[in-house]
Amino acid sequence: MEQIIDDSTIEACQRGDSDAFRLLFEAYKDRVYSIALCFFDGNEATAKDVTQDVFVKLFISISQFQNRSEFSTWLYRLVTNTCLDRRRASRRLLSFGNSREIEIPDQRRSVEEKYIQRELEASVRKVIAGMKPRLRITVLLKYFEDLSYEEIAVVLGCSKGTVASRLNRAHQILARKLSHHV
């Protein structure tokens, strides 16, 4: 369960308090890793590297956080930029994945229904993998991190309209490429 990080913890980190930074790390490490893991198609080594990079950058730049937005929003922006920087540096096509299973709660599903659900999930991941990184990260922040349009706009440094447009394009791509599943 994620710990609550308050302003006093952030201020202590800004003063160089290593115990406060450890609390911050413990509170957000899984979330940072999860975003990186999803962004890099389940590549655990890259996700670990990105997570480490994010916390090194955070340690170096936490003094720049000025409480104008939520700390988590500022951190998501740092994670997003680190993922995009890593992608640009590697110059390779990224794919999207999610190691977590999305399960339908009804335990009475038949084997056939479970198979169909897994196939659909794989198809969705494959379509998202083919999206441009800016669409992919917008989908990730909206549907996997459950951020609002406003929060995504802050994280990505764009307007809410741009977020809506990117999600609309992603939805159109998903609808077009998954129409055979209906």
The CATH number covering residue 125 comes to: 1.10.10.10
The tally of domains found in the chain comes to 2
Same domain, 37 and 125: no
**What global pTM score does this model have?**
0.59
pLDDT tens over the chain, length 182 residues: 345 678 888 888 888 888 888 899 999 999 999 888 888 878 888 889 899 989 988 888 888 888 777 888 889 889 988 988 888 776 543 334 444 444 434 444 567 666 666 777 777 888 888 889 899 889 888 888 888 899 899 989 999 999 999 999 988 888 888 776 55
Same domain, 8 and 90: yes
d(CA 138, CA 171): 11
**Residue that has been written with the tokens 């990260």 in this structure:** 137
Same domain, 3 and 45: yes
Please identify, among 77, 95, 113, the residue that sits at the C-terminal boundary of a domain. Answer: 95
